[in-house]
């Protein structure tokens, strides 16, 4: 039995106090970025209304990027549905790339118009965004004037901030001074790489930006710093828990008298109170937390679980955990067994076997299964070994590619396929004037394409078809026939740009239709809780919403969903509920399935910060999981794919 220790009121006080010792900025963790954003928007709206009643203006400091998007969405909704007026609002944006034309796709002027200003009744004269077109020799004077303008309207009442992976706020990169004001800055390489999501090529990302300084931000009366997704977790921990230093400019906020850090669960992942809560206070011990603590202890002292002693527990602040047990050994056994039971070579359940301690049900022996793959290659990258096993073990496996993935194909690849078609048509005598005209139009477009230009629909179609062919090849390689391969082309993805639309009814309907048609016993989906605007997250939202809507269907009662993580991040050991071992041969086969995705080999467009190819990332990750199991004292496998079960 796990030791359940409920924190008394007194303990809760201790907990709060000790968080404060570790966390140097008041920090609130929300289940979900959406609720958090709504809450912030409502606080802003309240302040706007109060000022309106007093006949005063309110000054908002605004950020761009993915973090504030949902706040703006809610403000727009409040304007439309609840008559929130922006007539008394003055805004100052934090920053703008330099140089940057206001009408360019990547400009923050355009961003703010698309997300907020075009949808509310703000007076255009009250909007201020640093101007990316000011001639170099005038930038200094321009920045001074920007700063004076903020002061002249009484300073900023509420400042919204995101945080970059470098720890920047605004574009105040590491090394920025505490007394810095609005100025021209050079962007950090990591920031430029992150910005690649909005540009085609690295060379297109500007090297500089105009940004409000640290001192300009610190003058704001209230500051909200927002961060969503586990890619932000390491820098959030530094900002909240580390000493103040110019190396992580967000740490300067620790000196602000009225600042709040607002996080979703994923961004809070590395905070001490989440990662090792026993270090900051009494815990409510449940099975999962016990597992987390024991794995942590085992890794901290460098011993397998079954060798941990009472002294190890006591010396590492875990004597609480041993209180209700005769000795540490029974906890060791409990956690060891739990981990042992996650391992199965039968991801679809082992027929005719006792399944009491197995992750999956034995019955029905042959399951109907849908593997949802957000992009056309996530299935093989993230769960290729399990995919192969499910097919080999005789299940009725379907794969559903949720989006076309067309954005991630190089122009030169699209051209190659276009020329192939062109020549083939000519050789086959199919080169009608109409066809040739069409080919030429696309060819002319691709050859003359500008850096920030979105693809015309025909070019997107070719790119989508290239990825379709690759996905089909990968799924066939894993043993599926064409009737079991589904292309969903979810509409939210089809913007032709990195930035996608919001999830719509049409998207959800597509998923519901497939679920209702197949009536699966098992569903696999990408469970990334990263950036809320990531394709993976939206794809998962669509599946979860479909599950909720279909929950009363009979077949749904027998349907389990397993979540795999994308190419970048693995589940923490205590979160894993099914670990599927992969033999050396299977790993090689998985690699070959990933190789079917030729357009993604070497260096795809928008590669992100990781230099490794997808097959390398997948193998490193699967080997790392097996290694951790081994270090904890479990069996040694070549590699492992990990899953967590989602419950409604
Ligand atoms: C944007 C800005 C930046 C971003 C930060 C986080 O105006 O000043 O500091 O807030 O780079 O960006 P996202 O929110 O896209 O992760």
**Cα separation, 243 vs 265, whole angstroms:** 23
pLDDT confidence bin for 68, thresholds 50/70/90: very high
Between the CA of 42 and the centroid of ligand 1 the distance, in Å, is 21
Is residue 184 helix, strand or coil?
strand
Q: Based on the fold, state whether residues 84 and 176 are members of the same structural domain.
A: yes
Q: Which residues, other chains included, contact 449 with Cβ-Cβ below 8 Å and sequence gap of 6+?
A: 411, 455
Q: Which of 332, 358, 346, 331 has its CA nearest to residue 632?
A: 332
Residues 594 and 636 in one domain: yes
SS3 263: strand
Query: Do residue 138 and residue 118 come from a single domain?
Result: yes
For residue 381, is pLDDT > 60?
A: yes
Residue 478 within a domain:
yes
Residue 586: CATH number of its domain: 3.40.50.10320
Our answer on whether the CB atom of 171 is closer than 6 Å to any ligand 1 atom is yes
Whether 29 and 265 have beta carbons less than 8 Å apart is answered as yes
Same domain for 474 and 552, yes or no, is yes
Length of the chain: 648
Q: What is the mean pLDDT of residues 500-507?
A: 92
Is 435 contained in some domain? no
Q: What single DSSP character describes residue 65?
A: S
Weakest mean pLDDT among 151-155, 169-173, 202-206: 202-206
The pLDDT, as a whole number, for residue 15 is 44
| Ligand 1 center to 64 CA (angstroms) | 6
Distance (Å) of CA 320 to CA 285, 317, 530, 574: 9, 8, 33, 19
Domain limit, last residue, from 272, 302, 324? 272
Phi/psi at 93 (nearest 5 deg)? -85, 150
Q: Are residues 391 and 519 in the same domain?
A: yes
Of 490, 525, 493, whose CA–CA distance to 508 is shortest? 490
What's the token pair of residue 411? 């122009």
Residue 53: which residues within 8 A CB-CB, separation 6 or more? Answer: none
Residue 194: CATH number of its domain: 3.40.50.1360
Does ligand 1 lie within 6 Å of residue 67's CB atom? Answer: yes
CA–CA gap between residue 313 and residue 303 (Å, rounded): 12
pLDDT digits (tens, 9 = 90+) for 454-496: 899 999 999 999 999 999 999 999 999 999 999 999 999 998 8
Q: What is the model's pLDDT at position 5?
A: 33
Q: Is the dihedral of CA 544, 527, 196, 120 positive or negative?
A: positive
Q: How many CA atoms lie within 13 A of 307 on its CB side?
A: 11
What pLDDT score was predicted for residue 608?
58
Other Cβ atoms within 10 Å of 416 Cβ, number: 12
**115 and 134 share one domain:** yes
Would you say residue 601 has pLDDT above 80? yes
3-state secondary structure of 260: strand
The residues with which 226 forms a beta bridge, in sequence order, are: 262
pLDDT band at 637 (very low <50, low <70, confident <90, very high): very high
Please say which residue of 245, 272, 299 terminates a domain. Answer: 272
In tens, the pLDDT along 217-269 reads: 999 999 999 999 888 999 999 999 999 999 999 999 999 999 999 999 989 99
Q: How confident is the model at residue 522 (pLDDT cuts 50, 70, 90)?
A: very high
The tokens describing 440, both together, are: 């030429």
Ligand 1 centroid distance, CA of 193 (Å)? 13
Choose one of 161, 162, 171, 499 to mutate for the ligand 1 pocket test, by most ligand atoms within 8 angstroms of C-beta: 162
Residues 133-155, mean pLDDT to the nearest whole number? 98
Output the pLDDT for position 12: 43
Active site residue 269: no
- CB of 61 within 6 A of ligand 1: the answer is no
Q: CA 158, CA 633: separation in Å to the nearest integer?
A: 52
In the reported structure, the alpha carbon of residue 390 is separated from the centroid of ligand 1 by a whole-number distance in angstroms of 42
Cβ atoms 239, 251 nearer than 8 A: yes
Q: Is residue 424 part of a domain?
A: no
What proportion of the chain, given as a percentage, has pLDDT over 70? 94
CA distance to 20, 106, 174, 270, 459, per residue, from 249 (Å): 20, 24, 6, 18, 42
Mean of per-residue pLDDT scores for the chain: 92
Cα(276)–Cα(457) distance, integer angstroms: 50
Whether 358 is in a domain gets the answer: no
The verdict on residue 436 lying in a domain is no
Q: Is 130 in the pocket of ligand 1 (CB under 6 A)?
A: no
Buried-state track 246-261, b at ≥16 Cβ within 10 A, e below 16: bebbbbbbbebeebbb
Which helix H or strand E contains 371, and what residues bound it? Answer: strand 368-373
Nearest of 537, 593, 595 to residue 566 by alpha carbon: 537
> Taking residues 447-456, what's their average pLDDT?
84
The torsion angles phi and psi of 44, rounded to 5 degrees, stand at -65, -45
354 CB burial (10 A radius; 0-12, 13-18, 19+): exposed
Q: Report the alpha-carbon distance of residue 567 to residue 375 in Å, rounded.
A: 11
DSSP 194-220: HHGGGSSSGGGS-SEEEE--HHHHHTS
Tokens matching residue 40: 């912030």
Q: Is the CB of 64 under 6 A from ligand 1?
A: yes
Angle at alpha carbon of residue 565, lines to 562 and 568, rounded to 5°: 175
CA distance 96 to 618: 36
Q: Does the pLDDT at position 633 exceed 60?
A: yes
Q: Give pLDDT, residue 533.
A: 54
Together in a domain, 470 and 554: yes
Q: Do the Cβ atoms of 25 and 261 come closer than 8 Å?
A: yes
Is pLDDT at 438 greater than 70 in this prediction?
yes
* Predicted local distance difference test score (pLDDT) of residue 612: 83
Are 49 and 156 members of one domain?
A: yes
Total domains present in the chain: 3
Q: How many CB atoms lie within 10 A of CB 506?
A: 10
Q: Say if residue 166 is in the same domain as residue 45.
A: yes
Pocket test for ligand 1, best of 65, 212, 220, 248 (most atoms within 8 A of CB): 65
Give 8's pLDDT tier (boundaries 50, 70, 90). very low
611: exposed, middle or buried (Cβ count in 10 Å: 0-12, 13-18, 19+): exposed
Helix, strand and coil in the chain, % to nearest 5: 50, 15, 40
How much of the chain, in percent, has pLDDT values that exceed 90? 81
Q: Is residue 33 part of a domain?
A: yes
- Residue of 60, 163, 173 to test ligand 1 pocket, by largest number of atoms within 8 Å of CB: 163
Tens of pLDDT, residue by residue over 395-436, are 999 999 999 999 989 999 999 999 999 999 999 999 899 989
With respect to residue 117, please indicate whether it lies within any of the assigned structural domains.
Answer: yes
The count of C-alpha atoms lying within 13 angstroms of the C-alpha of 171, restricted to the half-sphere facing its C-beta, is 29
Mean pLDDT, residues 271-275 taken together: 94
Q: pLDDT confidence of 609, banded at 50, 70, 90?
A: low
Average pLDDT on 9-25 reads 60
> Is 581 touching ligand 1 by the criterion CB < 6 Å?
no
Range with the lowest mean pLDDT among 241-250, 442-451, 561-570? 561-570
Residue tagged active-site, from 73, 96, 173, 241: 173
Domain that holds residue 155: 27-272
Based on the domain organization, do 43 and 64 belong to the same domain? yes
DSSP string, 117-162: GGGS---GGGEE---TTS-GGGHHHHHHHHHHHHHHTT--SEEEE-
| CA 449 distance to own-chain centroid | 30
Is residue 168 in contact with ligand 1, taking CB distance under 6 Å?
Answer: yes
Whether residue 6 has pLDDT greater than 50: no
Q: Give dist(CA 108, CA 203) in Å, integer.
A: 19
Same domain? 335 vs 223 = no
- pLDDT at residue 531 greater than cutoff 80: no
Strand ranges, E, within 547-619:
560-564, 578-582
| Chain position carrying tokens 């080169």 | 431
Which position has the higher pLDDT, 602 or 246?
A: 246
Say if residue 265 is in the same domain as residue 291.
no
pLDDT value at residue 3: 33
What is the Cβ-side half-sphere exposure of residue 453, based on CA atoms within 13 angstroms?
13
Question: Ligand 1 within 6 A of 249 CB?
Answer: no
Helix (H, G, I), strand (E, B) or coil at 645: strand
Question: pLDDT-derived band of residue 507, with 50, 70 and 90 as boundaries?
Answer: very high
Query: pLDDT band at residue 7, thresholds of 50, 70 and 90?
Result: very low
Within 412-518, strands assigned E span 485-487
pLDDT tens sequence across 304-333 = 999 999 999 999 989 888 887 778 999 999
Q: Which of residues 272, 299, 329 is at a domain's end?
A: 272
Q: Is residue 356 part of a domain?
A: no
């Amino acid at each position: 039995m796990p030791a359940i220790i409920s924190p008394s009121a007194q303990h809760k006080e201790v907990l709060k106090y000790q968080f404060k010792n570790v966390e140097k900025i008041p920090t609130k963790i929300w289940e979900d970025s959406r609720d958090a954003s709504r809450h912030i928007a409502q606080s802003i709206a309240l302040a706007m209304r109060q000022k309106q009643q007093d006949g005063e203006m309110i000054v908002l400091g605004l950020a761009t990027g993915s973090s504030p998007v949902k706040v703006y969405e809610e403000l727009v909704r409040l304007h439309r549905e609840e008559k929130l007026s922006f007539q008394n609002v003055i805004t100052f944006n934090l920053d703008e790339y330099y140089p940057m034309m206001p009408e360019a796709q990547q400009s923050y002027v355009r961003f703010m118009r698309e997300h907020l200003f075009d949808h509310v009744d703000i007076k255009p004269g009250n909007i201020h965004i640093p101007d990316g077109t000011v001639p170099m020799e005038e930038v200094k004077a321009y920045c001074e004037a920007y700063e004076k303008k903020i002061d002249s309207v009484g300073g900023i009442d509420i400042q919204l901030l995101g945080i970059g992976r470098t720890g920047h706020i605004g574009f105040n990169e590491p090394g920025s001074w505490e007394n810095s004001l609005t100025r021209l800055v050079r962007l950090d390489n990591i920031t430029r790489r992150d910005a690649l999501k909005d540009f085609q090529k690295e060379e297109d990302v500007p090297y500089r930006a105009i940004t409000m300084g640290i001192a300009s931000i610190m003058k704001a009366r209230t500051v909200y710093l927002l961060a969503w997704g586990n890619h932000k977790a390491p820098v959030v921990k530094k900002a909240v828990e580390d000493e103040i230093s110019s190396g992580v400019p967000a740490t300067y906020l620790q000196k602000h008298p009225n600042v709040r850090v607002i996080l979703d669960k994923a961004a809070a992942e590395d905070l001490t109170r989440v990662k090792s809560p026993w270090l900051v206070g009494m815990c409510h011990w449940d099975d999962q937390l016990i597992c987390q603590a024991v794995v942590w202890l085992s890794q901290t002292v460098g011993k397998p679980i079954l060798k941990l002693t009472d002294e190890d527990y006591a010396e590492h602040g875990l004597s609480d955990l041993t209180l209700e047990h005769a000795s540490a050994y029974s906890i060791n056994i409990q956690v060891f067994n739990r981990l042992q039971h996650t391992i199965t070579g039968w991801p679809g359940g082992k027929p005719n076997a006792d399944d009491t301690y197995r992750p999956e049900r034995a019955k029905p022996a042959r399951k109907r299964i849908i593997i949802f793959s957000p992009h056309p290659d996530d299935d093989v990258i993230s769960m290729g070994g399990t995919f192969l096993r499910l097919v080999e073990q005789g299940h009725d496996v379907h794969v559903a590619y949720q989006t076309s993935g067309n954005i991630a194909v190089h122009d030169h690849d699209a051209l190659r396929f276009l020329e192939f078609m062109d020549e083939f048509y000519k050789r086959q005598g199919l080169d009608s004037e109409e066809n040739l005209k069409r080919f030429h139009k696309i060819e002319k477009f691709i050859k003359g394409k500008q850096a920030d230009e979105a693809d015309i629909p025909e070019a997107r179609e070719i790119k989508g078809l290239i990825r379709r062919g690759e996905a089909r090849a990968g799924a066939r390689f894993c043993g599926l026939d064409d009737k079991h391969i589904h292309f969903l082309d979810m509409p939210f993805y089809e913007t032709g740009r990195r930035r996608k639309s919001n999830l719509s009814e049409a998207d959800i309907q597509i998923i519901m239709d497939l679920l209702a048609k197949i009536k699966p016993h098992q569903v696999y989906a990408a469970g990334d809780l990263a950036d809320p605007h990531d394709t993976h997250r939206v794809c998962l939202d669509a599946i979860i919403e479909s599950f909720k809507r279909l929950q009363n269907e009979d077949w749904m009662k027998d349907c389990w969903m397993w979540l795999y993580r994308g190419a970048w991040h693995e589940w923490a050991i205590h979160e894993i509920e099914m670990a599927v071992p992969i033999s050396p041969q299977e790993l090689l086969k998985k690699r070959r399935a990933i190789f079917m995705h030729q357009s993604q080999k070497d260096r795809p467009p928008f590669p992100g910060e990781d230099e490794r190819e997808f097959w390398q990332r997948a193998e490193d990750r699967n080997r790392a999981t097996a290694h951790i199991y081994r270090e904890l004292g479990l069996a040694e496998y070549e590699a492992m794919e990990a899953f967590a079960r989602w419950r409604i």
